[in-house]
Structure 1
Amino acid sequence: MAEAADELSTPLGQQTVGRTRRFRLPFTAMQALAVLLGLVLVGFVGVALFNDNPLGGEPMARITLRNPPPAAADDKNASTEAAVKSAAKAPATAGDAKNDTKNDARTVTIIDGSSGKRQDVVIGAGDPAEKVDGDTPPLAMTGIDPRLLEKSRYGMIPVVADGLKPFTVYAAEADRAKAARMPVVAIVVAGLGVGAAKTADAIMKLPPAVTLAFTPYGADPGKLAERARAQRHEILLQIPMEPFDYPDNDPGPQTLLTTLSSEQNLDRLYWHLSRLQGYAGIANFMGARFVATDPVMQPIVREAAKRGLSYFDDGSTPRSMAQSLSAGQSLPFARADFAIDAVPTSAEIDRALVKLETIAKERGTAVGVASALPVSIERLGAWLKTLDSKGIMLVPLTTAMLKSKSG
């Protein structure tokens, strides 16, 4: 009867359509999303708890070590490889026989991890003087004395050898007799190595007597440091250390921490020391908490002295133990009087430089530290040209250290 009534009430030309029930899921979309996020969180916690990787997040490299073939086979292979490379470069001539000793070399292929660029570096195998430990010769670098390098598990790090110290060998040239008779100023430009453009500006636009401090980070800090030394700049290596607001303010991977043992901090120190070569000393990179904590700072200062380096304190905290600890180890030391670009404006930088002049005249030695900001480089460059007329001598940091020590 209901269907008949529907048909009678339906307008002419239309048909009734039966209602269909919509299918509904037993949960909402928000509930499904919450379950999915919960599974992701459980998986993350599981990896964090059960994955045994104490250095998670730290940079690391993996290499494959293969046992070398017998000596005879190795010599034969080396000779064959050298012959193939020589033949590929030029046709054989009678004069080639004179260069047999030079062909006794090994070639290492370096692959850039970011660009994939390949570069062949030939390492001479015939000159024992070029070998650090009689086994594996280091890569040749401009002005680097291989005797002052030793192997660590991270790479080559500085060492005292044959009575020579990196501090004296890598100190920039200066007229120290003249410096002893007049007021001197040393300028350290820090934070280099990260940012090739600003690093290049500091290297090329500032005079050689300006000391440059490199952080261990960046794509290739060693190459930039080598360029700085080629321009006769003295260089330092900055060691990242724990600030008071760590980890909110994190200097970077392998930071030296007050919560680590001395062995762990020394291991991290070796990682930093291996990042580049040719530096006359080390400096703190941040580290207000670390440098003020005697038990953790003492082994670092002792290791720097053992390896023939110097120590530069950027003066950022008055509580630093570096000066007293350095004196106890007879470690060459200098402390910045202040940062000249703490307020990075032309007027404030110029005012700070005038203050530095006053300190130099009153005390005989003044040390300023700056960053590689364009305004800092520009004002420093202009100011340094006026020092001679003011009776003040610009000197590398090592010269200022030696004058302070003798005074």
Structure 2
Amino acid sequence: MTDELNEPLGLNEPLEPRPARRRGARAKSLVAAALLCGAGGAALLLSSRDPRAGQPIVVARIETVEPPSAPASAPAERAAVTEEDKRADEIADIEKRSGVKVTRIGGAEPPGALIIRLDEQHTALAPAPDKRLVEKGRSGPLPKIGADGAKPMEVYARPTTISARLPAGAPRVALVVGGVGLNAQLTASAIDELPGAVTLALAPYGADPESVAAKARDRGHEILLQAPMEPYDYPRENPGPHTLLTTRGAGLEDLHWLMSRFSGYIGVVNYLGAQFTADETALTPTLTDIAGRGLLYLDDGTSPRSLVSSLAPRLALTAARADVAIDAGASGEALEKALTQIEALARRNGQAIVAAGALPQTMTRLTRFARELERKGIALVPLSALASRIEDKEARAGKWK
């Protein structure tokens, strides 16, 4: 049974014949399409107006890339050089104007490795020699009391200044370092490295003791004349030319030769002299002359038989005695013991005087000791500060240390 539902769809539709196309028409169509495409391409090229139109073209992606930066250290180094130059100029100017002592490792130029000591400002001392305080002697100029009553021990002394960081009534220590002027290196160390409040005792020998005295005072140190005196085993132990001898009696020629070697000192301290300071006949005229010239006297404390303590008050001599004398051959342990003793004495008595020598084995430790005193609550003062105290409070009462 065949009907519209059971017959395949469209199988029974009558076929209509398609009109045949002519080959010429199809060819024309293809040509027309080609012309249209060519015209479109030409129009595109003309519209772009690109002078390179028709040439080979490579298409590439363009990205924005930051230019490589210079090494980070380069600008910093250039800036650092500029800053270093500025700092060097500033340091040079500060050093020139301030007088601050600067030590550079290896002699480096500013601003190389530095050790800058700012622990103290230079304390100006009165110019020396002061014409009021000089008289002509046979061997050279000698100190004297001025017509106006001015005394060398007062005029040439270093002013006493106590740090505001220390409490009122703080213990005081005077450090006297002798033997300065004999060895160039040790002399330079004593003058430059020790604080200005340290009193220096200069030997009367050497090529130019006047120059050494001037340099020491320029650095703020008050100075003493270290006078050689006769020891018990003289002449086997000979202190040097013009040693004060008991055999010379009341003669003062040697003393005056020693006094004429340099100027600006506040007093005299013995070098050796156990025999001489125990002889009243020889010692009395010497101390009398020292007192009459407005000078003070320091006994270095090495001889228990010294008569200075009994003679000074009645001769109106301003004098002092070292509480501790550091032996020239002291070992490290002995030196530390002596320094500890000084601190204890200063705290107990309110003051202490120590005498030491400018020796290689002691200089470094003495310098550190002197610079540490303030931190320990103790004031470092020049000898003149304590000698005047003794003269005022004890010598007038017939007492002396």
Q: TM-score range by the shorter chain?
A: 0.5 to 0.7
1:174 aligned to 150, 160, 172, which one?
Answer: 160
Aligned residue runs from structure 1 range 269-288, under 5 A: 269-288=255-274
Q: How does 1:199-210 map to 2 (within 5 A)?
A: 199-210=187-198
Q: Which residue of 2 aligns with 1:147?
A: 132
Distance 1:380 1:193 in 2: 18
The residue that corresponds to 1:297 in the other structure is 283
Rounded to whole Å, the distance in 2 between the matches of 1:331 and 1:253 is 26
Q: 1:368 aligns with which of 350, 354, 363?
A: 354
Q: Does 1:394 align with 2:375?
A: no
Which residue of 1 is the match for residue 208 of structure 2? 220
TM superposition shift of 1:346:
2.9
User: Which residue number corresponds to residue 61 of structure 2?
Assistant: none
Q: Unaligned regions of 5+ residues in structure 1, if any? A: 1-140
Amino acid at match of 2:274: A
Q: CA deviation at 1:390?
A: 1.7
Q: Which amino acid aligns with 1:218?
A: G
Q: Secondary structure at the match of 2:312?
A: helix
CA distance in 2, matches of 1:325, 1:235: 23
Q: Which residue of 2 aligns with 1:58?
A: none
- Residues 341, 376 of structure 1: 8 Å contact kept: no
- CA distance, structure 1, for counterparts of residue 285 and residue 392 of structure 2: 26
TM-superposition CA deviations, 1:69-88 (whole Å, max 9, x none): xxxxxxxxxxxxxxxxxxxx
Deviation at 1:386, TM superposition (A): 1.9
Provide the C-alpha distance between the structure 1 equivalents of 2:260 and 2:312, rounded to a whole number of angstroms. 22
Name the aligned partner's letter for residue 154 of structure 2. T
Aligned CA distance change for structure 1 residues 295 and 180 (closer, same or farther; 3 Å): farther
Which one of the candidate residues 194, 210, 219 is aligned to 1:231? 219
Deviations 1:15-64 (A, max 9, x none): xxxxxxxxxxxxxxxxxxxxxxxxxxxxxxxxxxxxxxxxxxxxxxxxxx
CA deviation map 1:374-399 (0-9, x unaligned): 23111011122221122111100000
Q: Matched residues in 2 for 1:179 and 1:273: separation?
A: 39
Partner SS state of residue 357, structure 1: helix
Whether the 8 Å CA contact 2:249–2:281 is kept in 1: the answer is no
SS of residue matched to 2:375: helix
- Residues 341 and 290 from structure 1, CA distance in 2 versus in 1: closer, same or farther, beyond 3 angstroms? closer
Match of 2:247 in 1: 259
State the alpha-carbon separation in 2 of the partners of residues 388 and 260 from structure 1. Answer: 45
Partner Cα distance (2:371, 2:162) in 1: 20
- What is the CA deviation profile of residues 238-286 of structure 1, one whole-angstrom value per residue up to 9, with x for unaligned ones? 11111100010111111111111312xx111110000000000001111
Once residues 195 and 161 of structure 2 are traced to their aligned partners in structure 1, the CA distance between those partners, rounded to angstroms, is 15
Q: Secondary structure at the match of 1:259?
A: helix
> Is this contact kept in 2: 1:337–1:366, CA < 8 A?
yes
For 1:333-348, list aligned pairs within 5 A: 333-348=319-334
1:305-329 superposed Cα distances (whole Å, 9 cap, x missing partner): 1000000001110110112211112
Name the SS of the counterpart of 2:265 in structure 1.
Answer: coil
May I ask how many residue pairs the two structures share in their alignment?
A: 265
Structure 2 match to 1:324: 310
What SS class does the counterpart of residue 289 from structure 2 fall into? helix
Give the one of 298, 323, 345 matched to 1:312: 298
The aligned amino acid for 2:157 is A
8 Å contact kept, 1:166–1:279: yes
Give the aligned residue type for 1:217: Y
Superposed, which structure 2 residues align to 1:77-92 within 5 Å?
Answer: none
Give the aligned partner of residue 241 of structure 1: 229
**Partner Cα separation in structure 1 for residue 167 and residue 300 of structure 2:** 22
Distance 1:166 1:176, change over 3 A: farther
**Contact 2:328/2:359 (8 A) holds in 1:** no
2:342 equivalent among 350, 356, 362: 356
Contact 1:194 1:217 in 2 (8 A): yes
Contact 1:142 1:226 (C-alpha < 8 Å) held by counterparts: no
In structure 2, do the counterparts of structure 1 residues 179 and 311 end up closer, same or farther at CA, with 3 Å as the change threshold?
farther
Larger Rg: 2
Q: CA deviation at 1:143?
A: 3.3
Equivalent AA in structure 2 for residue 355 of structure 1: Q
Structure 1: distance between partners of 2:364 and 2:144 = 37
What TM-score do the two structures reach when normalised by structure 2? 0.63
Contact kept, 8 Å, 1:142 with 1:230, in 2: the verdict is no
Q: Deviations over 1:152-191 (max 9, x none)?
A: 0111010001210000001111137989822111110011
Contact 1:343 1:349 in 2 (8 A): no
Alignment partners' CA distance in 2, 1:322 and 1:393: 27
Candidates 140, 160, 172, aligned match of 2:145: 160
| Cross-structure match for 1:62 | none
In the TM superposition, residue 142 of structure 1 has moved relative to its aligned partner by 4.8
SS at 1:213's partner residue?
strand
Matches of 2:300 and 2:156, distance apart in 1: 20
- 1:383 match: 369
Q: Which amino acid aligns with 2:231?
A: P
Paired AA for residue 384 in structure 1 = A
Over the aligned positions, Cα root-mean-square deviation in angstroms equals: 1.9
Query: Residue 343 of structure 1: CA displacement?
Result: 4.2
Code of the residue aligned with 1:214 in structure 2: it is L
Contact 1:183 1:393 in 2 (8 A): yes
In structure 1, distance between residues paired with 2:328 and 2:257: 30
Secondary structure of the 1:334 match is strand
Q: CA deviation at 1:368?
A: 0.7
The residue that corresponds to 1:70 in the other structure is none
- CA distance in 1 between partners of 2:327 and 2:374 (Å): 22
Tell me the distance in 1 between the aligned counterparts of 2:229 and 2:256. Answer: 14
